[in-house]
Amino acid sequence: MHALNLNPLLLLLLFSHLSCFHIVVPVFAKVLMSIDCGSSSLKPYTDKNSLVWVGDDQYVQTGETRSVKTKDLPSVWDPHVMGTLREFRTRNKNCYSLDVDNKAEDSTSVEWVFIRASFYYGNYDNKSTPPTFHLQFNGNNWTQVETSMEGVVYKEVVYSLNGKNNIIVCLGQTQVDHLPFISSLEVKSWESDTYSNYTDPNYPLFFNARLGYGISSAVRSSKDRYGRIWAPDDHLLAPTVKVRSSSTSLKLNIDDNPPEIVTRSAAVNLNSSALNLTIVGTTDLRVPIHVNLYFSEVMILNSTQKRSFNIIVNGFVFYSGELLQKFGPVSPPHGRALEVHFENVYVDPLFGYKIEIVRANGSTLPPLVNAFEDFYIGDKLVQGTNSSDVISLGLLQKSFIQLQDWSGDPCLPSPFTWDWVACDSDTDSPRVIALYLNDLGLTGSLPDFSAMDALETIDLSNNSLTNEIPEFLGKFSKLDTLNLEDNNFSGEIPCSLLKNSNLKLNVNNNPSLSTNNNASICQNNTDSRIPSASNIKHCIASALKVIILGSIIIQMLIIM
Ligand SMILES: *[C@@H]1O[C@H](CO)[C@@H](O)[C@H](O)[C@H]1NC(C)=O
Ligand SMILES: *[C@@H]1O[C@H](CO)[C@@H](O)[C@H](O)[C@H]1NC(C)=O
Ligand SMILES: *[C@@H]1O[C@H](CO)[C@@H](O)[C@H](O)[C@H]1NC(C)=O
Ligand SMILES: *[C@@H]1O[C@H](CO)[C@@H](O)[C@H](O)[C@H]1NC(C)=O
Ligand SMILES: *[C@@H]1O[C@H](CO)[C@@H](O)[C@H](O)[C@H]1NC(C)=O
Ligand SMILES: *[C@@H]1O[C@H](CO)[C@@H](O)[C@H](O)[C@H]1NC(C)=O
Ligand SMILES: *[C@@H]1O[C@H](CO)[C@@H](O)[C@H](O)[C@H]1NC(C)=O
Ligand SMILES: *[C@@H]1O[C@H](CO)[C@@H](O)[C@H](O)[C@H]1NC(C)=O
Ligand SMILES: *[C@@H]1O[C@H](CO)[C@@H](O)[C@H](O)[C@H]1NC(C)=O
Ligand SMILES: *[C@@H]1O[C@H](CO)[C@@H](O)[C@H](O)[C@H]1NC(C)=O
Ligand SMILES: *[C@@H]1O[C@H](CO)[C@@H](O)[C@H](O)[C@H]1NC(C)=O
Ligand SMILES: *[C@@H]1O[C@H](CO)[C@@H](O)[C@H](O)[C@H]1NC(C)=O
């Protein structure tokens, strides 16, 4: 016998229990975007649920489009949308980027977003090896995606933009020969009253499973504002059967809005007094789990009939008499639905968790359950790389075409940092501390990236950069290495650099660079090229040795 650990905090919330129901107003989410990845069609495609899909060209700069054969695809997936994908052969990560402000259908601001990323392998590459790769959003870890030979794998997250106005979804390559790909990306604004009591804006909500116990195949109601997919439970054991509600109308105004098609049907255990739920699919299981259960009576009960049951979490060992009494039996309403939410359910790494629905004393009918969802709260959302740094990197990308393939957050999530930067270890809002722009064939002049004031290392060697060496390079207070070797800079070396005694400066092989300037000239110089007074103080104690050997080697010797 294994004693399952149990989180002492178990909350049972009964929503809308028989009395207070709101007026039915169908509220549809402001749909931001449904992207058909790998489709470069300029004409939007409208699927059978009237959902409009657009091609992905303007949301991603990299990757190649591929087509996939979509035979035997479950009907919740549109064959046209799943019939194309985008594959990423290069870079450690590749990203989709959506500007939120421009995409909302009305002018109200979008605070929460719901994202679904879907992956249909379909052996598009004839290799019969569905790849595994990493999924990320706005610098945060999302999950590992293990695609499959059959069917569609999809991931969902809900999170608060916290004032940001862009949504970035990245695919990171984690294994050699496992090329990341994506079939579709759906982004919707999220009504924050849904799943409300556990959506702290600083944490993302990741869905794990969503089941409709009475349905026999997956459903995706066109009326469900998020297009949530409810899977059937294929593991029901006899004598548990699927039943449909006799109710002609079903009022569904419970918070989390399961679609009617799901709440209208249920699983009923005809024989045993217990109906057990156990979690399936533990590949991405984390603790604690939050669980929603939905109940709706399927028949009109007469005066002698009664259906009531108790819900036991993680085993009767812990939930005997006292707790059962505390939570009391549940009696599902007819023609309406009831939602029960459990927070912080402990998951045993080996055994998962168990929820049992057990017939209560006095109940003449066996227990039933209509639907189930579970999810977990992710790690705290990151701020993202310091925005001054991000803007400056953007200027560099604008100036140099060689850098334009890099997308997403430059530093996060670790270790998916851009190849040509290094960052400090602050995982919430990192600074860029190094630029490795050597050997890239960069031409032209450097843009002003002076805002990146945490830089310690800048390597621009072996390019074809021209024009003067910008003076701001000498103003980075933490810079200790500046390599400008093998370029075609001209003009004079700025005093700001010559005076920085802490700097290892290499300007070798810049044939057009003037050697007129040196540290002692700079000391006397009072023009605008002179850095701040504090730097001058350092400079006074420095001397400069210039050795000319066909090229220029400058070394700073600190005499102190
Ligand atoms: C996969 O095989 C099919 C049939 O042999 C062929 O038509 C298709 O071009 C192949 N695709 C790739 C990516 O090799
Ligand atoms: C959410 O939590 C607040 C207080 O924590 C409570 O008053 C409210 O009833 C809860 N809402 C739901 C739908 O459970
Ligand atoms: C109900 O359970 C009893 C005892 O376990 C068993 O004998 C019987 O066959 C079951 N009935 C059905 C319909 O499964
Ligand atoms: C419910 O779970 C208990 C304990 O694991 C088990 O003994 C019982 O057979 C289960 N009932 C059903 C209907 O699966
Ligand atoms: C209630 O319904 C059950 C099952 O149909 C039936 O056996 C019972 O007689 C009914 N009781 C009353 C009071 O109508
Ligand atoms: C149900 O009733 C029996 C007999 O009266 C009692 O032993 C048992 O503890 C009751 N169960 C619950 C869950 O209250
Ligand atoms: C970026 O870093 C600088 C220097 O530490 C800081 O002053 C600034 O507030 C940071 N920007 C953001 C958006 O955090
Ligand atoms: C993401 O996951 C990696 C590896 O598990 C971890 O090192 C990192 O701290 C996580 N979070 C971020 C924001 O990078
Ligand atoms: C200089 O950069 C070019 C690419 O622009 C590369 O082919 C060459 O090998 C580099 N030279 C050295 C010495 O690294
Ligand atoms: C370097 O720049 C000068 C003009 O400043 C130009 O005349 C020369 O051809 C350039 N050299 C190389 C190798 O590009
Ligand atoms: C600095 O340059 C001036 C003028 O070219 C020269 O006279 C002086 O010797 C140089 N000083 C050093 C330390 O090289
Ligand atoms: C710098 O100024 C000092 C004193 O004013 C003078 O002796 C020295 O020659 C000047 N050096 C240069 C390079 O102009």
Span 65-114, pLDDT tens digits: 999 999 889 889 999 999 999 999 999 999 999 987 644 455 556 688 99
Which atom of ligand 6 is least distant from the CA of 310? Answer: 13
Per the listing, tokens 């000239």 go with: 521
The whole-angstrom separation of Cα 421 and Cα 108 is 37
Higher per-residue pLDDT: 502 or 20: 502
The whole-angstrom separation of Cα 310 and Cα 213 is 18
What size, in residues, is the chain? 560
Reported as a single tens digit per residue, the pLDDT across 215-226 is 999 998 887 778
Q: Evaluate if residue 356 carries a pLDDT over 90.
A: no
Question: What pLDDT was estimated at residue 392?
Answer: 97
Tell me the average pLDDT of the chain.
81
Q: How confident is the model at residue 279 (pLDDT cuts 50, 70, 90)?
A: low
Q: Evaluate if residue 17 carries a pLDDT over 70.
A: no
412 lines ligand 8 (CB under 6 A): yes
Q: Evaluate if residue 408 carries a pLDDT over 90.
A: yes
Mean per-residue pLDDT, 407-413: 95
The whole-angstrom separation of Cα 16 and Cα 291 is 17
Ligand sitting nearest the alpha carbon of 455:
7
CA of 23: how far to CAs of 17, 254, 280, 295, in Å?
15, 11, 36, 20
Question: What pLDDT was estimated at residue 4?
Answer: 28
In the reported structure, the alpha carbon of residue 366 is separated from the centroid of ligand 3 by a whole-number distance in angstroms of 14
Q: Using CA positions, which residue lies closest to atom 14 of ligand 10?
A: 488
The whole-angstrom separation of Cα 94 and Cα 84 is 17
Q: How confident is the model at residue 186 (pLDDT cuts 50, 70, 90)?
A: very high
**Could you tell me the two tokens for 250?**
């079903």
Question: What pLDDT was estimated at residue 42?
Answer: 83
10-19, 34-43, 205-214, 246-255: segment of lowest average pLDDT: 10-19
Q: How confident is the model at residue 30 (pLDDT cuts 50, 70, 90)?
A: low
Mean per-residue pLDDT, 269-298: 70
Mean per-residue pLDDT, 271-279: 61
Q: Evaluate if residue 125 carries a pLDDT over 70.
A: yes
Mean per-residue pLDDT, 406-426: 94
* Residue 338 · residue 295 · CB < 8 Å: yes
Q: Evaluate if residue 235 carries a pLDDT over 60.
A: yes
Question: What pLDDT was estimated at residue 554?
Answer: 32
Q: How confident is the model at residue 275 (pLDDT cuts 50, 70, 90)?
A: low
125 lines ligand 1 (CB under 6 A): yes
Question: What pLDDT was estimated at residue 196?
Answer: 67
Higher per-residue pLDDT: 540 or 487: 487
In the reported structure, the alpha carbon of residue 89 is separated from the centroid of ligand 4 by a whole-number distance in angstroms of 49
In the reported structure, the alpha carbon of residue 197 is separated from the centroid of ligand 8 by a whole-number distance in angstroms of 27
In the reported structure, the alpha carbon of residue 276 is separated from the centroid of ligand 4 by a whole-number distance in angstroms of 6
What is the percentage of the chain residues whose pLDDT exceeds 70? 79
Reported as a single tens digit per residue, the pLDDT across 127-151 is 999 999 999 999 999 999 999 998 9
276 lines ligand 4 (CB under 6 A): yes
Q: Which helix (H) or strand (E) holds 290?
A: strand 289-295
Q: Evaluate if residue 255 carries a pLDDT over 80.
A: no
Which atom of ligand 12 is least distant from the CA of 520? Answer: 13
How many other β-carbons are positioned within 10 Å of the β-carbon of residue 335? 14
Sign of CA dihedral 495, 499, 503, 505: positive
144 lines ligand 8 (CB under 6 A): no
Q: Using CA positions, which residue lies closest to atom 7 of ligand 12?
A: 524
Q: Evaluate if residue 558 carries a pLDDT over 50.
A: no
The whole-angstrom separation of Cα 64 and Cα 189 is 28
Q: How confident is the model at residue 417 (pLDDT cuts 50, 70, 90)?
A: very high
* Residue 557 · residue 544 · CB < 8 Å: yes
Higher per-residue pLDDT: 22 or 306: 306
Question: What pLDDT was estimated at residue 272?
Answer: 61
Listed in sequence order, the residues at least 6 apart from 389 whose beta carbon sits closer than 8 Å to its beta carbon are 410, 431, 432, 451, 452, 454
Coil, helix or strand for 323?
helix
445 lines ligand 9 (CB under 6 A): no
300 lines ligand 2 (CB under 6 A): no
